[in-house]
Amino acid sequence: MIVQALIDQGVDTVFGYPGGAVLPIYDEIHQQNAIRHILVRHEQGAVHAAEGYARSTGKPGVVIVTSGPGATNAVTGLTDALMDSIPIIVLTGQVPTFMIGSDAFQEADTVGITRPCTKHNWLVKETDALSGVLHEAFHVATQGRPGPVLVDIPKDVQFATGTYNAPKPSVSHYQPKVKGDMEEITELVAAMEKAKKPIFYTGGGVINSGPAASQLLRELVKATGFPITSTLMGLGCYPASGENWLGMLGMHGLYQANMAMHDCDLMINIGARFDDRITGRIDAFSPKSTKAHIDIDPSSINKVIKTDIPIVGDVGHVLEDILKVWKSRGRKTNSEALAKWWAQIEKWKAIDCLKFKQTGKTIKPQHALVRLEELTKQHDRYICTEVGQHQMWAAQYLGFEDPNRWMTSGGLGTMGYGFPASIGVQMAHPDALVINVAGEASWLMNMQEMGTAVQYRLPVKQFILNNERLGMVRQWQELLHGERYSQSWSEALPDFVKLAEAFRAKGIICSDPADLDDAIMEMINHDGPVIFDCLVEKHENCFPMIPSGKAHNEMLLGEAQTQGVIDSKGSVLV
């Protein structure tokens, strides 16, 4: 019945790990061919792989794990998916209903543990209710603001036979509103017509809304000529090669993007949530602007930043209406003021905040990414990352032309996300070039998934920027904690080439800038999983940077300015 429900929901791939409490489900999986099961090496890997699958396809990812430790190992992935609004359906086994509460073997209060880290969860105690709950789970995970859901299924419910109901047009009371309020939309269009210094500030909501939303956004940006920046989560919704692109904003965002956010007079937030990595100091955040906020989740509005024009609705629907209204009112913008605004932005751009010098015999991490970009941008390419300096550099130096091409742990910042995510992406796109830009420390957190990559012949490329440090931690210790580098170096690292070989995969090591291009080409051309150990400069810092507790216009650009910049109040923020 469970497998039938998954098939009826259009599922073709599930990620999971068997165990006592899910044996009946695995028995069913064994007797069919419609759904492919990917055996991961750790349940956390299963959830991240499903996230990678979901983010690169727009379809929900499905996970099956056993009770107790299987469920608790999935918690990090669930929280990650909740923070980044990724649709995931996790099915967990549970001890039989008559044993629940008896501290049975591998029993955990799964719905209790996962209540705060799922959008919704269910414990199914009657077999007849099972199919309805499973269909409802897909509905809840994908409608409105997407998120992870969990269905806990006791083993006796799995064994029993019951009535199966096919999915039908939703009977659920959960029907989030997708159309924006026309009054507010008209108010926003009026503000856009008058704006002297407007900016689009876009986020993951554009990508979650689907490819049509990205297309509409591109049309709107082109038609109005307004500058556009995006959060880490929204990269790709507007092409990096686009004329109006300012680059990413936020703590490690580009100078022009942050300065434009600070000085703008109309901020149009489309599917972003004023995260603290974006806003910096709240009371100094874009002080002179009128703020419009388009979000499908009413709780995002006025949560952090007071909004003048709130529009609750799905980004795609709202953008369509904005375009319609704006066109019907005569396609007006304040072009004279806009030209001045762009002249100012060009001055900020001229600072060239990402410049660096590749000199000497050591590879700079930025240089490694510039070369990676150059040698892979023509490919059908998907990029995952782990968390830390390499993640920010990847966001800064790689260009994303399309949505669903960039998989990174934004809200939760989960080290160990990228490698399993790359496996999920490769499963969904078997012929694409899937690269996980990693740091050596993050990568080690889920390195057991090498087994999965090799078993399923998934040619994922693990591009490890190895500085033998927890680079971002080290950077903060340098800036904030008197250069006392407490526990932030990677001692006793493995030989990554030998590690790859131990898994019967390919390992490449590169330490000389002169060899870098050839080594990257070797990685791309190898038909199979590759661990690329790129030895980089150990003490490179990630700039630009808005220090904690500072405003957008108080950005640090490089080494010279970094002494004593974060005051005691800022240092309590992370």
Q: Which sequence positions are flagged as catalytic? A: 43, 105-106, 155, 472
Min separation Cβ 276 and other proteins, Å: 15
Centre a 10 Å sphere on the Cβ of residue 379 and count the other Cβ atoms it contains. 12
Task: Give the footprint of other proteins on residues 148-187 (CB under 8 A).
Answer: 173-177, 181, 187
Distance between CA 551 and CA 554 in Å, rounded?
5
Window contacting other proteins (CB under 8 A); options: 46-54, 293-301, 339-347, 442-450: 293-301
Calculate ∠ Cα 162-65-419, nearest 5°: 145
Our separate counts of H helices and E strands in the chain read: 24, 18
Min separation Cβ 181 and other proteins, Å: 8
572 part of the interface to other proteins, by CB under 8 A:
no
Nearer of residues 98 and 105 to other proteins, judged by Cβ: 98
479, 562 in Cβ contact below 8 A?
yes
298 part of the interface to other proteins, by CB under 8 A:
yes
71, 114 in Cβ contact below 8 A?
yes
Nearer of residues 49 and 188 to other proteins, judged by Cβ: 188
Nearer of residues 43 and 314 to other proteins, judged by Cβ: 314
153, 92 in Cβ contact below 8 A?
yes
Q: Contacting other proteins (CB under 8 A), which of 24, 45, 310, 403?
A: 310
Min separation Cβ 140 and other proteins, Å: 6
119, 176 in Cβ contact below 8 A?
no
68 closest CA partner among 114, 1, 116: 114
Q: How does DSSP classify residue 168?
A: -
Q: Contacting other proteins (CB under 8 A), which of 28, 276, 297, 373?
A: 297
Q: Contacting other proteins (CB under 8 A), which of 179, 194, 218, 303?
A: 303
Q: What is the dihedral of CA 70, 450, 408, 316, to 10 degrees?
A: -80
Centre a 10 Å sphere on the Cβ of residue 207 and count the other Cβ atoms it contains. 27
Min separation Cβ 206 and other proteins, Å: 20
Task: Give the footprint of other proteins on residues 312-331 (CB under 8 A).
Answer: 312
Window contacting other proteins (CB under 8 A); options: 39-47, 53-61, 197-205, 308-316: 308-316
Q: Where are the beta strands (DSSP E) in 473-555?
A: 506-510, 530-535
Backbone angles phi and psi of 169, in degrees to 5? -45, 130
Residue that has been written with the tokens 């057991």 in this structure = 448
Nearer of residues 300 and 426 to other proteins, judged by Cβ: 300
Q: How does DSSP classify residue 228?
A: E
288 part of the interface to other proteins, by CB under 8 A:
no
497 part of the interface to other proteins, by CB under 8 A:
no
Task: Give the footprint of other proteins on residues 88-127 (CB under 8 A).
Answer: 111-112, 115-116, 119-120, 123
Enumerate the H helices of 127-245 as residue ranges: 127-142, 155-159, 182-194, 204-209, 211-224
Q: Contacting other proteins (CB under 8 A), which of 230, 307, 404, 426?
A: 307
Interacting residue ranges for other proteins, rule: CB under 8 A: 111-112, 115-116, 119-120, 123, 140, 144-145, 173-177, 181, 187, 297-299, 301-303, 306-310, 312
